[in-house]
A and B are shown apart, each in its own frame.
Chain A
Amino acid sequence: MTLLVSVFAAIISTVLWYKNAPKNEMKLGILCWLFWGASLMWLVDAIFEYAELKAAYFTPAPADMLNDLFLGLSVVALALIIWLVILLVSDPKGVVKKALFKKKAN
């Protein structure tokens, strides 16, 4: 479930990145790297788990599924926070800078 949430987040962020490219004002590429990197790693985790559990891998207990979904959503929230911090610190549109300085009236 965590892998599934991460893959969907990766696909959505990649589509949004492509839609806005070549403009990089929102730094959506960060989200793509975060989600694709995690998805690839969780894919490996899933393959090893499948090798161990075989078909039982696809029929998890409802409590495990819910916990994994909760984890997946928390991972998405963490990635969005990382992206937001980088976006506000790098401030590509100069919005934060403008908010911190007021032009002197002549």
Chain B
Amino acid sequence: MACFIVPAVEAIVVTVVKKVIEKKEKQPEEVSVVLDGTPETAYKVPFSRKLKWLTNLLWGGSALLAFEHVWHGEVVPWFPFLTAAADPADAAEMLHEMATVGVSMAALVTLVWLAMLGVSAVIEKRALKAEPVKA
């Protein structure tokens, strides 16, 4: 009915947080890392960049789901924009769906992002430990 609104709201909040962090963030940490077998000086990806992964997933998913809701006639281009909002019984059902399906969608996307953070941390650690290939 309108489940995509929950991840879309999360996307707005995270985008604002990302902008604030970007402004506060200092120069990324410089590290020596082995890339293509040779040691090189590189910058670690800052947290704001990793936060962008989450905003990308949330915005991307919300946009395509919004289209699905237009397809099913649940979102219309005139007020109140959500067909369920016109009727109190439908509105209650819509809010229930947002609280269950919508919140679960936002939670799963956030969990996947947290897993991505974990995996990227492991890859970073492994790259920093790697020894240069001897010719």
CB-contact partner of A48 in B62, B101, B109, under 8 A: B101
List, in ascending order, chain A residues with CB within 8 A of B4's CB: 41
Per-residue B-contact encoding for A33-51, CB less than 8 Å = 1, 0 else: 1111111111111011000
How many chain A residues touch B (CB < 8 A): the figure is 25
List, in ascending order, chain A residues with CB within 8 A of B61's CB: 34, 36-41
- Is A88 an interface residue when CB atoms closer than 8 A count as contact? no
**A residues 60-83 touching B (CB-CB < 8 Å):** 71, 74-75, 78-79, 82
Please tell me if the beta carbons of B109 and A6 are within 8 angstroms of each other in the complex: no
List, in ascending order, chain B residues with CB within 8 A of A41's CB: 3-4, 7, 61-62, 64-65, 105, 108-109
Please tell me if the beta carbons of A34 and B60 are within 8 angstroms of each other in the complex: yes
Please tell me if the beta carbons of B109 and A37 are within 8 angstroms of each other in the complex: yes
- Is B120 an interface residue when CB atoms closer than 8 A count as contact? no
> Which of B21-29, B51-59, B85-93, B123-131 contacts its partner?
B51-59
- Is B79 an interface residue when CB atoms closer than 8 A count as contact? no
A-side interface residues toward B, CB under 8 Å? 2, 6, 29-30, 33-45, 47-48, 71, 74-75, 78-79, 82
Pairs of residues from A and B, 3 with the lowest C-beta to C-beta distance, nearest first: A37-B61, A37-B60, A33-B56
B-side interface residues toward A, CB under 8 Å? 3-4, 7, 53, 56-65, 67-68, 71, 100-101, 104-105, 108-109, 112
